[in-house]
Structure 1
Amino acid sequence: MRSIELFSVKTSCPDVAILGGGLSGRLVAWQLVCAGLRVALYERGNSEGSAAAGWVAAAMLAPLAESAISESCIVEMGTLGLERWPSLIERLPEPVFFQRTGTLVVWHQPDRSEAEMFERRMRTNAPEALLRGGVESLIGARLWEIEPALKHRFHEGWWFPNEGQLDSRQLLKSLASGLEKAGVALHWHTGIEEGHYPEARLVIDCRGLGARIAFSRLRGVRGEVVRIHAPGVGLRRPVRLLHPRYPIYIAPKESDRYVIGATELESEDMSPMTVRSALELLSAAFSLHPAFGEARILELNVNCRPALPDHLPCVQWDGKCTLRLNGLYRHGYLLAPVVTGEICALAIKILELAAVGRSLDWDNWRAGRQWPSLFQFKSE
């Protein structure tokens, strides 16, 4: 059993200093300030969040659709995360587009083997309780009833009716506004170097790829996304198109805007999108619906998502006054409510115990959580 003493700092300091103001950092700050803590946030980019990986993301909340390519714990955390998003958004000061009309998965007939493989993996990784009432096989008229824009273009598919999506940029903006109104000390355009942390009772590192020294095996995975304006399509929900070379998702947002992605390249190259990626993404979208051929390209976006070797998230504690959250990979919006909730619960517990001169029993804490493998202890 491991039990480690905390050292204290001056009471004039904030309770928590958060490093990194992307999706995770903002959500951690929001939950902690709502819990009554004094919080400071430091972000190298701007208040909009345009430097963060979450700025580029489509923000689909699709645990079952992801189950074909993800660990079962990702599916479980994502399912709970999807349920938590509405209550998180409700408290924000500005509206955030949130939709829960499901995810549709379709394929062209020559690619039916991809659909069979997808189904096998999905049923292997997804909990039985989630599958019950969470998957409907669609044929012909039923598919066209669910998604009229695809009438006569696809004849088979799956519908995951409980899944959803949100607008990532509206969320980041509303979180920034909420933090400002709640009195969080916001330090935009302020990068924090390793070992030169601001003074606080507790530091929470949410810097993603900026935390390489702490996570030596952290790597960036390049993702490329197209944003377009396509008034003539009319999709009602996110659609995934299965394909052996370039499976894509198309997520409809407000005002006939669509996010199309995503390539996934083992590279940390942040240079502009390649012609090949743009052609593959746009050609796949055109094969889904020909009206995409008349769409206007708004943005070609690139960013790198932080990933650990097992592609699973991690909450790390050094036994003193530093917590770290990293490795959300391609599941940031899906997992964020749960993973940030877990690190907030841990932070609050550490601070509560320190206030009465007690220390955290790490092993007992970890064993009592729903996903103990999420937590790692790493002394400095």
Structure 2
Amino acid sequence: MAAFVVKGAGVAGLAAAHELVKRGFSVEVIEKAGAAGLGASHFAGGMLAPYCEREAAEEIVLTLGLGAAGWWEEAVPGEVRRRGTLVVAQPRDLPDLARFAARTTGHVLIDRKGVADLEPALAGRFEKALFFEQEAHLDPRRALAGLADRLRERGVVFHFGGHEPQDRRFAGVLDCTGPAAIPRLSGLRGVRGEMLYLETADVTLSRPVRMLHPRHPIYIVPRDDHRFMVGATMIEAEDDGPIAARSLMEFLNAAYTLHPAFGEARVIETGTGIRPAFANNIPQVIETEEGLAIAGMHRHGFLLAPAMAVRAADILLVRHSRLKG
């Protein structure tokens, strides 16, 4: 059985390992951190929202992302929530809602009653909204932990702390090291994303809610145990230090605007992550001296990692078949 090394145990690396194992390869994963999923993936929203993302991205993000929810359902059964996405705006920002609708598909326009039916906690707060029924979400931390466990069950060996196996010969290397690849891969840059977690039992949401704003659009994604992930900024910088005070204030003000009860919520965590991106913000599978790399995931990690993993694994399968032949 041919063996491959996957460098990086974030969303791209674990998705790639999953696809390689499906094709019958032996896989070992090298990760510099002490566990899987502790890089930028740890701070992701986990929204499988190809239609919404099309508003600010190219068509390929939609087409590649349409199969993401099904892929994750197969990879980690029980983790995907198919409840759609709700996009709302304050009365003064309704022109932004109209622009969002014009730039996207897969939605229906709903009124005040429709909002209340979908999210009772938001009853009476928004006159109009867009509902993207076909979208889904998951908890990135749970999903990656579950995927790592399934990979171990299927024989994948993990090397944490960056320790590379010295006594094995591998058929190839797949680089999924995310921001660590920025100095090595031409054209990559770092984009800083910030987030926080709020905890309150006074708000209940069933699905991600995106609230539009000319300067500070946010999304709020429900988690278990009365927790909510709030994001997200996109700052052209490679500094992964603590969250900026301005960002924290914007997140909290926007969350309060969505529902005043968030004003009494506990801030239980803040975080930042550097997301590598190419100039067009579209990920690529590219050639390297060692083999291949999945790079430039930008803000689309959980949405596009499945498609990139399938592409990379297919290339490696064809190459290996040719060598055997």
Which category of TM-score, normalised to the shorter sequence, fits these structures?
A: over 0.9
| 1:229-254 Cα deviation digits (max 9, x unpaired) | 12110111100000011000000012
Q: Which residue of 2 is the match for residue 81 of structure 1?
A: 68
- Name which of 284, 300, 324 aligns with 1:331: 300
Matches within 5 A, 1:206-245: 206-245=176-215
Residue type matched to 1:66 in 2?
E
Residue type matched to 2:47 in 1?
M
1:250–1:261 Cα contact (<8 Å) kept:
yes
1:97–1:254 Cα contact (<8 Å) kept:
no
- In 2, distance between residues paired with 1:213 and 1:334? 25
- Name which of 120, 124, 142 aligns with 1:152: 124
- Deviation, 1:191, is 6.3
Q: State the SS of the aligned residue for 1:18.
A: strand
| 1:138-162 Cα deviation digits (max 9, x unpaired) | 1121221121111111110000011
| 1:162-209 Cα deviation digits (max 9, x unpaired) | 1010010011111221222222221111167xxx9x841111111112
- Name which of 259, 264, 287 aligns with 1:289: 259
| 1:46-104 Cα deviation digits (max 9, x unpaired) | 22422x111100110111111110100001111122332211223xxxxx532111000
Q: How many residues align?
A: 323
| 1:105-153 Cα deviation digits (max 9, x unpaired) | 000011122112212222xxxxxxxx4xx31101121221121111111
Q: Establish whether residue 33 from structure 1 lines up as the match of residue 21 from structure 2.
A: yes
- In 2, distance between residues paired with 1:317 and 1:217? 13
TM-score (norm 2): 0.95
Q: State the SS of the aligned residue for 1:204.
A: strand
Q: Which residue of 1 is the match for residue 83 of structure 2?
A: 101
- In 1, distance between residues paired with 2:93 and 2:139? 31
Q: Which residue of 1 is the match for residue 324 of structure 2?
A: 355
- In 1, distance between residues paired with 2:37 and 2:291? 24
- Name which of 317, 336, 346 aligns with 2:315: 346
1:60–1:334 Cα contact (<8 Å) kept:
yes
Q: State the SS of the aligned residue for 2:292.
A: strand
Q: Which residue of 2 is the match for residue 117 of structure 1?
A: 99
Q: 1:199 to 1:308 in 2, by over 3 A?
A: farther
Aligned-pair identity (%): 35
| 1:305-331 Cα deviation digits (max 9, x unpaired) | 11011111111125x750111011001
Q: Which residue of 1 is the match for residue 160 of structure 2?
A: 188
Q: State the SS of the aligned residue for 2:314.
A: helix
Who wins on radius of gyration, i.e. which is larger? 1
Q: 1:26 to 1:111 in 2, by over 3 A?
A: same
Q: State the SS of the aligned residue for 1:180.
A: helix
Matches within 5 A, 1:197-208: 199-208=169-178
Q: State the SS of the aligned residue for 1:70.
A: coil
- In 1, distance between residues paired with 2:12 and 2:252? 30
- In 1, distance between residues paired with 2:42 and 2:70? 22
Q: State the SS of the aligned residue for 2:25.
A: coil
- Name which of 3, 15, 18 aligns with 2:6: 18
Q: State the SS of the aligned residue for 1:32.
A: helix
- Deviation, 1:22, is 0.8
Q: 1:105 to 1:275 in 2, by over 3 A?
A: same
- In 1, distance between residues paired with 2:272 and 2:290? 34
- In 2, distance between residues paired with 1:98 and 1:37? 27
Q: State the SS of the aligned residue for 2:234.
A: strand
- Name which of 33, 48, 69 aligns with 1:61: 48
2:9–2:36 Cα contact (<8 Å) kept:
no
1:135–1:159 Cα contact (<8 Å) kept:
yes
- In 1, distance between residues paired with 2:181 and 2:322? 27
Residue type matched to 1:30 in 2?
H
TM-score (norm 1): 0.81
- In 2, distance between residues paired with 1:169 and 1:205? 21
Instruction: Could you tell me which runs of 5 or more consecutive residues in structure 1 were left unpaired when the two chains were aligned.
Output: 1-10, 91-95, 123-130, 357-380
Residue type matched to 2:260 in 1?
P
- In 1, distance between residues paired with 2:5 and 2:220? 37
Root-mean-square deviation over aligned CA pairs: 1.7
Q: Which residue of 2 is the match for residue 135 of structure 1?
A: 107
- Name which of 236, 253, 258 aligns with 1:266: 236
- In 2, distance between residues paired with 1:97 and 1:292? 26
Instruction: Could you tell me which runs of 5 or more consecutive residues in structure 2 were left unpaired when the two chains were aligned.
Output: none
